[in-house]
Structure 1
Amino acid sequence: MGDGYTVLCDISCALGEGPSYDPASGKLFWFDIEGMRLLERSFPDGQTIVHHLPFMASALGFVDERTQLIVAEDGLYRRHADSGTLALHTPLEAENETTRSNDARVHPCGAFWIGTMSKREEKAAGAIYWFLKGEIRKLYRDVTVPNSICFSADGTIAYFTDTPTGLLMRVSCDPATGLPIGEPSVFIDWRGQDGYIDGSVVDAEGVLWNARWAAGAVDAWSPRGDRIRTIALPAKQSTCPAFAGPNAERMIVTSAARGRDIGREPLAGQTFLVDLPMRGRFDPRVALA
C-alpha cells in the first residue's frame, strides 16, 4: 500500500493502457498493448482473467451488455463479452502495417475518438480519427503519440495531446456529433517539465485527471487549467486513468514496464487503485447504428 493508492492487479504489463469499466457487469477491462493481451476483472476483488489477442489493441468501448468494440492495430472489432469472439467491424489503417492504435475514448454522444501511431514511434506517422455509426473521419494528421483523448460531461469540449509536443490541447465540440468546432487551443503547456502528458479522463465536475508518463504521477487539472492535485504512483510510466465502481467513485491507473528495471521498480507495469473519493462518471456506450 502507498500514499493514496493500492495495487489492484500485480500482473505486469509491458504497455498497460486503455482501462474501461462497465457499470452493467461491474467488470474492468484494460490492455497490454505490446503483450497483445486484454485483461478482465470483476471490480474490485475478482480474479484477473487474461485474454490473448491476435493483434495489438489499446482501447475498448461498450455497445450493449453483450457486445464490445475493440480498437486494434488494423481496425475496430466487435467482441462478444461472454465468448470473446472477434469480428472485424470497420478497418482503420489496415493497409499500414507500421502503425497501431493508441489512446481512444467515447464522446458523450457515442462517437469514438481514436488515435493511431507508429509502432516504432516515428514522427508524425499517426492521426486522430472520429468514428460514429460506421463512419470514420480523420480529424488531425501528422501525430506522433496521440494521448489524453477525453471530453467534458456535456460533450462541448474535447481534449487531446501529441505527447512529444508537451501541449495538452482543448477544442470545442458539437455535443450532438462529437465533431470538433474550430481550431484547438493550448489548455496546458507542459514543455520542459517533469514527465510527459499521457492518458486522461474528465470527472463529473470538469476536472481533468492526467497520467504523467516518466513521472509516476496522476495530476488533477481544473477546467481553467490550474493543477489542483498530484497523486504519486510507484510506477514511473503511468499511462491512463479511468473511473470505476458502482458510482464511478474510484480511479484505476494503468502503467508500463517496458524498458524499466524490475529489480529497482518492482511495481512497474502493474495496475493501481487510487483510494481517494472521486466524483467520476462513466463513458457512454458506442453508437454502432
Structure 2
Amino acid sequence: MTAQVFDNRSCELGEGPLWHPERGQLFWFDINGKRLMTAGQEWVFNRHVSAAGWVGRNALLVATETDLIRLDLETGAQEVVAPLEAENPVTRSNDGRADPWGGFWIGTMGKRADPGAGAIWRYYRGELRRLYDRITISNAICFAPDGSYAHFADTAPGKVWRQRLSEKDGWPVGEPEIFLDHGPDGPNPDGAVLDAEGNFWCAEWGSSRVRCYAPDGSVLRDVTLPVSQPSCPAFGGPDLRDLYITTARESLTAADLQKEPLAGQVFVAANIAQGQREHEVIL
C-alpha cells in the first residue's frame, strides 16, 4: 500500500505524530523548525520540541530540548513539569510516547547525533528517571496492547529492543532483549508504534517505507511512500485504523528534493490496521 499526502506543509524534520483520542485530532512536530503542528494551526517555540502525550481534552505534555512542559491548547500557556537534561547543551529530546500507566517515556540524543550522548527517560507521578544511557539516536518507543512490554531503538546501530514491564507500575523488569538487529548498514529503525494485535510498525529512515513486523520479528507488510525519509507513524482516524506518517527534508540535497518534492510532508495510509488508543499522561 502507498500512503497519500495528509498535510502539505513541509517539515525539515517531522516527528512525534500523536492522535488525540478525545479531540479526534492529529498533532505532530517539526523538530528543526521548533514548532508543534495540527491542521490549520502551529505553535512556535524558542527551543526544539519533538514528542507529546495528551493530558485531558485541552492540554499536551510536550517534550522539549530542556524540559517537559504542559501546553494549554486553548490559551497557549506553558507550565514546566520537569527539567530534561537542561544542563546539557549537546542534547535535545527526540522520540517519546505515553505508557499504559499514565507515564511518559522520552528519548534524548545529541543535536549532531553525537555517539552515545543520548538516553531514555520515564516521567511517572512526578519523578523523571533515566532508564537507559549511551543511546545515540533514541527512537521506536511504543507499548504492547496488554502493557507487558515496551519497545525502544537506537537508530545508529540498527537495533530495536523489547523490555518487560512491571504489571504494577510499568517500570522495566530485568534487562532488555533484542527484538530486531539490522546492523548499522541495514534498515534504519526510526519511530514506531504497535497496533492492537501487537504488530510493530516501524518507519525505516532512508527506505521510503513503514514496515510491519509480527511479534516474532518476521516481516508482514510494507506501506510505501514517495519520499525517502519517513520518521514516525501513529494510528488515528475515527476508528484508529489510519496510519499517519511524518517525514523529513533534513540532509537531502537540492537534487534529492527535485526527485522527492513531497519530502517533509505528513502522509496517511487509510484503513491499514487496527491501532491502539493513545494513553493519557497523568501529571
> Higher mean Cα deviation, 136-145 or 276-285?
276-285
Offset at residue 230 of structure 1 (A): 1.1
Alignment-derived partner of residue 213 in structure 1: 205
Q: Which amino acid aligns with 1:250?
A: D
- 1:244 corresponds to 2:236: yes
Alignment-derived partner of residue 44 in structure 1: none
Q: How does 1:61-140 map to 2 (within 5 A)?
A: 61-140=53-132
Q: Which amino acid aligns with 1:186?
A: I
Q: Which amino acid aligns with 1:157?
A: Y
* CA distance in structure 1 between the partners assigned to 2:167 and 2:212 by the alignment: 24
Unaligned runs of at least 5 residues, structure 1: 42-47
CA contact (8 A) 2:200 2:214 kept: yes
The C-alpha deviation readout for 1:129-148, integer Å capped at 9, x for no partner, is 11112101110011100000
Offset at residue 123 of structure 1 (A): 0.5
Q: How does 1:21-32 map to 2 (within 5 A)?
A: 21-32=19-30
Offset at residue 50 of structure 1 (A): 2.0
Q: Describe the shift of the 1:192–1:69 C-alpha distance in structure 2 as closer, same or farther (beyond 3 A).
A: closer
CA contact (8 A) 1:216 1:233 kept: yes
Alignment-derived partner of residue 187 in structure 2: 195
Alignment-derived partner of residue 281 in structure 1: 276
Q: Which amino acid aligns with 1:222?
A: A
CA contact (8 A) 1:167 1:186 kept: yes
CA contact (8 A) 2:157 2:184 kept: no
Alignment-derived partner of residue 14 in structure 1: 12
- 1:58 corresponds to 2:50: yes
* CA distance in structure 2 between the partners assigned to 1:195 and 1:138 by the alignment: 27
Alignment-derived partner of residue 181 in structure 1: 173
Q: How does 1:153-168 map to 2 (within 5 A)?
A: 153-168=145-160
Number of paired residues?
Answer: 280
Offset at residue 73 of structure 1 (A): 0.4
Q: Which amino acid aligns with 1:204?
A: A
Offset at residue 51 of structure 1 (A): 1.8
> Higher mean Cα deviation, 259-268 or 199-208?
259-268
Q: Which amino acid aligns with 2:281?
A: V
The C-alpha deviation readout for 1:149-190, integer Å capped at 9, x for no partner, is 111011111111111111111110113322111111111121
Q: Which amino acid aligns with 2:83?
A: P
Find runs of 4+ consecutive structure 1 residues off by over 2 angstroms. 192-195
Offset at residue 193 of structure 1 (A): 5.4
Report the 3-state secondary structure (helix = DSSP H, G, I; strand = E; otherwise coil) of the residue aligned with 1:96. coil
Unaligned runs of at least 5 residues, structure 2: none
- 1:169 corresponds to 2:188: no
Alignment-derived partner of residue 272 in structure 1: 267
CA RMSD of aligned residues (A): 1.2
CA contact (8 A) 2:152 2:162 kept: yes
